[in-house]
Amino acid sequence: MAFEFTDANFQEAALETDKLVVVDFWAEWCGPCRMVSPIIDDLAKEYDGKAVIGKVNVDHHSGVSMKYGVRSIPTILLIKNGEVVEKHVGATTKAVLEQKMAAHM
């Protein structure tokens, strides 16, 4: 299961780690988000210990969403050393995400 990022833990879990971080901004009512969700869960299992992969529910944690200007979901951010290195808006495939991740690992 993917890590659950919150407004409270985002600084420590996403910005203060030396690992690549993949953050999926989503909501339960979002159809494309439901398509991406199992991909994020699979990546979290496969990259356990190598990367931090998780989700932010935009309905429950709007602070992080506002900080990063998330206006459309799903939005996926790749963060390295506390900085956003890649941003993807909209549904995507596992292969595309793995390719983006590989470029920053």
Q: Which of 33, 52, 58, 78 is catalytic?
A: 33
33 is catalytic: yes
Which long-range CB contacts under 8 A does 73-77 form with residues at least 24 apart? 73/25, 73/26, 73/27, 73/30, 73/32, 73/33, 74/24, 74/25, 74/26, 74/30, 74/32, 74/33, 74/36, 75/24, 75/25, 76/22, 76/23, 76/24, 76/25, 76/36, 77/21, 77/22, 77/23, 77/25
41 is catalytic: no
Q: Which of 2, 23, 30, 44 is catalytic?
A: 30
Tell me which residues are annotated as active site. Answer: 30, 33
